[in-house]
Amino acid sequence: MLTYLRVRDLAIVGEAVLEFGPGLTAITGETGAGKSLLVGALDLLLGGRATGKLVRRGAERAEIEAQFDGVTESGSLAALAERGIEVVDGVVIVRRVIGTKGSRRAFINGRLATASDLREVVGPLVDLCGQHQHARLLSPERQLDALDRFAGLDMRRGQYKTVWQAWRDLADELQRVAADTEERRQRRDFLQFCATELAEAGVEAGETERLENEARRLHSAHELLATAGEATRALTDEHGIRDALSPIARQLADGARLDGNLAALSARTDEVIAQIDELAADLERYMDAIDLDDERRAEVDERLAELHRLARKYGGNETALLQRQSAIEDELHGQVADDERLERLQVEVPRLLEEVTNAAAQLTERRIAAGKGLARGAGDVLSALGMPGAALDVAVAPLNAPGPNGGDRVVFQLSSNRGEIAQPLRDVASGGELSRVFLAIERACAPPDSRATMVFDEVDAGIGGETATVLGRFLAEMAAHEQVICITHLPQVAAFADRQMHVEKREESGRTVSHVRRLHPDERVTEIARMLGGTEDPTALAHARTLLKGA
């Protein structure tokens, strides 16, 4: 519910502060006093187009601020949550600042916002229907919502949407999985070839380094054998190193018997001879182990060539090859899973589409039937509101494909006069007619679940007398369920209001300024008498009291 509206430096409004409550609020005043500027201010808070020309002359900027209390509308709350804007105790405060030099800023609960944010957050909170506003009733989505509300299809539509979304998600997945089938098949063949090649190769970690070491030994076997042989002969042949050390060892042993200080040196000499004998034995064993097998050398060379080829093809060492092999196998398993998923989707998607089509057909059947009832009910209200020849037609046309709300496009069409062909509201309805059509539809429908604020401008255009009384009663009955604000020239309508606000123009310091204030009960009598034709006329005053008492 809108509880507070402040307008500052907008056109001829210097500063206006309006406090609203539940029920029906009437805004009255002389023609041109600035009543519709209040509607324009709300339109700006709904994300309407803002220009520097709207700023009051002499001011640097215009400001519009509104407070909504008890906000429970799911669309607004979802939009707020999506933007990370916190709502405390259901209070939403919206502010818009328009500069003369092109600056535009908007705020929702203190957070900077865009015009699009305003439309999504504030839009569900206010139904604005006036001569210069693009009322939401003109949109096919809004008309579909109104028809479904009349038909009581909200729950059934929600169930349909759940099935539709499931079908849409699976259909998108089917399209993704089935796309580029030939490329996927070629990719699978390639992966299978690679997986087989790597599996048959049987690559082991560290294998290349081990084989390269073995290859060097095999290719240098004769050279290594000759080197080891020469070393062995130098150690053990006649006149070799061992033979040269043996007499020295005997001499040192003899000297140690004469001088104990030589004992350690004699022992070390014996150790050197023992090490020479051990080294010679090791060299013999090394020569015995040298592989002179040409077949083994060819096998190693062939295996190394294969490993190098695989490394060039798949990149890296054995570790990288093994990782690549694992990745290829994983991708192959994924492709097999995709193939199995494709087969399931090819069965599931048509089944769900049939379910969606049947559910959409049931919605269509109920909408067509409800459309006739809504047209009759709205037609009765339009007749009572001074449009006796008007007829509302609810056209339910099929969409090319089922959408999230069914398979229908709903268009409200109006024939303003008997015998005329009904045309879409957007093409034929004037501001006053549109307001009355909106009122007729709201009247025909059950009380809405939302707590949207209904704002009517020019709803009373072209009517008077008893029709005006009917209009006032309709607005009051609607206000029993939701907040209604009505700008009116009709005293019969104003009399039904729970509160009345008066807008007037004054000249201050050579400039015209618009002011607005709430009227006390006695002031309401005077204002309604003015609307009837004159505040000083006792008859008008008495008539005004009668209207207020009757309402």
For 27, 67, 381, 415, the CA distances from 20, given in Å and listed in that order, are: 11, 10, 27, 36
**CATH H superfamily, domain 2-131+431-519:** P-loop containing nucleotide triphosphate hydrolases (3.40.50.300)
For 248, 256, 265, 338, the CA distances from 271, given in Å and listed in that order, are: 13, 16, 10, 75
Closest CA to 143 of 428, 409, 478, 447: 409
133: helix, strand or coil: coil
| CA 377/CA 373 separation, integer angstroms | 6
Residue ranges, comma separated, of all CATH 3.40.50.300 domains in the chain are: 2-131+431-519
pTM value is 0.61
With beta carbons less than 8 A apart as the criterion, state whether 300 and 218 touch.
yes
pLDDT, tens digit only, all 551 positions of the chain: 999 999 998 988 888 889 999 999 999 988 777 777 888 889 899 888 888 888 988 888 999 999 999 888 777 888 899 899 988 899 999 999 999 877 789 999 999 999 999 989 988 888 877 655 445 677 888 899 889 988 989 889 999 999 999 999 999 988 877 776 666 677 777 877 888 888 777 878 777 778 777 777 777 777 887 888 888 888 888 778 888 888 888 888 888 888 888 888 889 988 988 998 898 888 888 887 777 777 777 887 888 888 888 877 877 777 778 788 788 888 777 666 667 777 888 899 999 999 999 999 999 999 999 999 999 989 888 888 878 888 999 999 999 989 999 999 999 999 988 888 888 887 876 666 777 788 888 778 755 555 678 888 877 777 778 888 888 988 898 888 889 999 998 999 999 999 999 998 887 777 777 888 899 999 999 999 998 886 667 888 888 899 999 88
Q: What is the DSSP string of 200-241?
A: HHT--TTHHHHHHHHHHHHHTHHHHHHHHHHHHHHHHSTTSH
| CA 210/CA 204 separation, integer angstroms | 10
Which amino acid would we find at residue 443? R
